[in-house]
Structure 1
Amino acid sequence: MTFLTDLDDLIRYRHGDVKKLREIRDTVRHDNFITTDNKNYVESLITMYLKNKPFAKPLPRQQSDTKIELQPKPATSSSDSKSNVAFSFLSNKKLGVLAGVAAAIAIIVIVGFTAINQTGTTDSAVSVTITEPLLVNVDQATYQRADIISISGNSKSASTQSVELSIENTDGVKIWKENINPKKDGQFSTLVIAGGGGWENDGVYILKVTHSDLASEIKFKFFT
């Protein structure tokens, strides 16, 4: 009888720890390997319950069979080790490839982002370059009677002349006018109260500004 046959008999007749014996059997069948402790444990059960000779002292033929079944483990271990090394190498290679791809993607994204930023910067610079030489703004889009309209603007003109501001109502009639001296940086601002003569109609009113040979305008709504 072989070692595995005796092991099967121990399990069948439930001699010893059946769960442990099954684990030992599975290990032997799968890896063709058994630890010294497990081997001694199984041999003691074989001697006790099956009255068989210890596994360490079998008949010559049994010894030959036992060696064929249980001792090829070093070769298998070497093969497994090579497989593990190969698997580890392939895994590392795959990880390296993936890392390379990720790095390439990151570089593309960074380059693209940089290009976008550069484009944005260029556009911004161009925008600044082509900014209107004369700008005027109001603080709201809609006003009612007695509201204060805050007017501000900027002139790129080098002229020392004053900036002329005016408001036209819905009929195109100029209902307000003021001249302002811009600051050294071209900034100018003033306040005007919505209401009075010419402010009788609801609708769109136009704020116009001129400075030397420059002109600009902006529209806002007025309700009585």
Structure 2
Amino acid sequence: MNDLLDDVKALLEKDFGDDRILKQIRRACENNEVISNFERNYVRKLAEKHLGRKPDTPAPVEKPVVPDVVLPETESAQNTPYAQKTQTIKTEPPRVSSASSKNSKLMIGIGGVALVVIIAIAASFSGITNVTPDVVKNPTDTVTESLVIQTDFTSYNNKDIISINGVSDTGGSVNLSIENQKGELVWAEQLSLKSDGRYSTLAIAGGPGWESSGTYTIKVDNGAETKSSTFSFTA
């Protein structure tokens, strides 16, 4: 906690980062309040970039050493003056003839045909008309929606930092807002879109209108359409 407070004070003194967020974290440190992982990571990244803090590196993992297999001395070896004391077992991979390799490939091919026939018969008895598995979407596929909004978490506590980001296929700017469970506006901001249509910002879960726990709704409006998302808040 002391290291975190020292980094926050140094960043504020040198005017690095967002003053509003850093002052919020400094007040939480001084009052021994709960500090979220997002706030800690935010300060740590700024300290590594501007204050010369070294990132934490995990300790190297030693690889296990596999000992050689040693056979005990035989009776004849004990009676021989120049007998070796240990023997190391070495194995060679079995040789596969070309004829057996061809036979193996033939058996694999026959087994594959038999499996297809079994699946087709089972599908006809069970009434399944499509045995093709669903195609799993690649998580890195490009988002094709015209307007997207999302947050870094689905639940927040009082004074947590909410990271908001999304994309819009329109130019100019978008309007963001957060409403509490009563439909009252508790936060609003207008953001300019980047060249690729993306936007992002940070909001603090606290202040007027945040007195009650419940489900809060965050909305984005680009002038052509409006999208919304919800998250739970604990006061």
Please tell me the TM-score bracket, short chain as reference. Answer: 0.3 to 0.5
Query: TM-score of the superposition, structure 1-length normalised?
Result: 0.46
Higher helix share: 1
TM-score, L = length of structure 2: 0.44
